[in-house]
Amino acid sequence: MLSTDTDILQAAEAWRREGRGVAVATVIETWGSAPRPVGSHLVIDQDTNFLGSVSGGCVEGAVITEALDVIADGNPRVLEFGVADETAWQVGLSCGGRIRIYVERVD
């Protein structure tokens, strides 16, 4: 598995077809020096297996946690991470950028 854009969305489809709960997280907006461009995907399953990335590894943990809730309740949501973002997740981007991420369940 190479984790290219093609692989990531194919994995999301394959995992769902296997009956797993699956969420797709997508970078929808960036400010400053964000590590991954708009449109980048992270795919997560119910057992926290994941593929792809939405940052350089800085916020994936928090996105995965949130994705589990999305898999459970089916409601898509928008997450925002920034430098020293202490209110939401105690995680931020060390590069000083800010990103918004859309997380949705595959139904």
Partner 1 sequence: MRLSLLADLNAQRAARRAAVLVTDTASGEQRLVLDDEVDSDPLALELQERLRQGKSALVEQDGRQFFLAVQTPPVRLVIVGAVHISQALAPMAKGVDLDVTIIDPRTAFATPERFPDVPVLAEWPDTVLPEIKIDRYTAVATLTHDPKIDDPALAAALRSPCFYIGALGSRKTHERRIQRLTAAGFSEQDIARIHAPIGLDIGAVSPAEIAVSILAEIVSALRKERRRSA
Identify the DSSP state of 10. H
Regarding 38 and contact with partner 1 (CB under 8 A), the answer is yes
Distance CA 47, CA 40 (A): 21
CB of 17 to partner 1, least distance (A): 7
Q: Which is nearer to partner 1, 90 or 105 (CB)?
A: 105
C-alpha distances out from residue 2 to 32, 49, 51, 52, 95, Å: 28, 15, 9, 9, 25
Residue 102 touching partner 1 (CB under 8 A): yes
Residue 106 binds partner 1, judged by CB under 8 A: yes
39 belongs to the binding site for partner 1 (CB under 8 A): yes
Binder among 9, 88, 91, 95 for partner 1 (CB under 8 A): 9
Alpha-carbon distance 87 to 62, whole Å?
13
CA separation (Å) from 40 to 30, 43, 84, 103? 11, 10, 22, 12
**Choices 9-17, 46-54, 56-64, 83-91; region in contact with partner 1 by CB under 8 A:** 9-17
Question: Whose Cβ is closer to partner 1: residue 2's or residue 90's?
Answer: 2
Note whether 46 binds partner 1 by CB under 8 A. no
